[in-house]
């Protein structure tokens, strides 16, 4: 009897959660995703620019940061027909 009651409670909870998920409107925050991608790209670019050179030039730092920012954005977003 207790087992049957627990199963009924579990089934009802499952139905409630399922109905909430079907009605919920969920979407990612593109601004936050872009901000995270840029921050991660800057960090990676800075690290890569200094990986084999103790004192990299400004140009080398900029190139590494731009490359890694673009890579991070490409990992999180799809453009054109890829999406």
Chain-centre distance for alpha carbon 31: 11
| C-alpha–C-alpha distance, residues 33 and 72, integer Å | 10
pLDDT reported for residue 83 = 47
Domain residue limits at 77: 2-82
The model's pLDDT over 66-82, given as tens digits with 9 standing for 90+, comes to 999 999 999 998 888 75
pTM of this structure: 0.64
The model's pLDDT over 27-49, given as tens digits with 9 standing for 90+, comes to 788 999 999 999 999 999 999 99
Domain count for the chain: 1
């Amino acid at each position: 009897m207790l087992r049957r009651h627990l199963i009924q409670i579990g089934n009802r909870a499952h139905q409630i959660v399922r109905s909430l998920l079907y009605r919920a409107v969920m979407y990612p925050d593109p601004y936050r995703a872009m901000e995270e991608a840029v921050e991660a790209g800057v960090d990676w670019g800075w690290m890569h620019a200094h990986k084999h050179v103790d004192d990299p030039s400004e140009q080398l730092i900029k190139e590494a940061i731009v490359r890694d920012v673009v890579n991070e954005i490409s990992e999180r977003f799809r453009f054109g027909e890829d999406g």
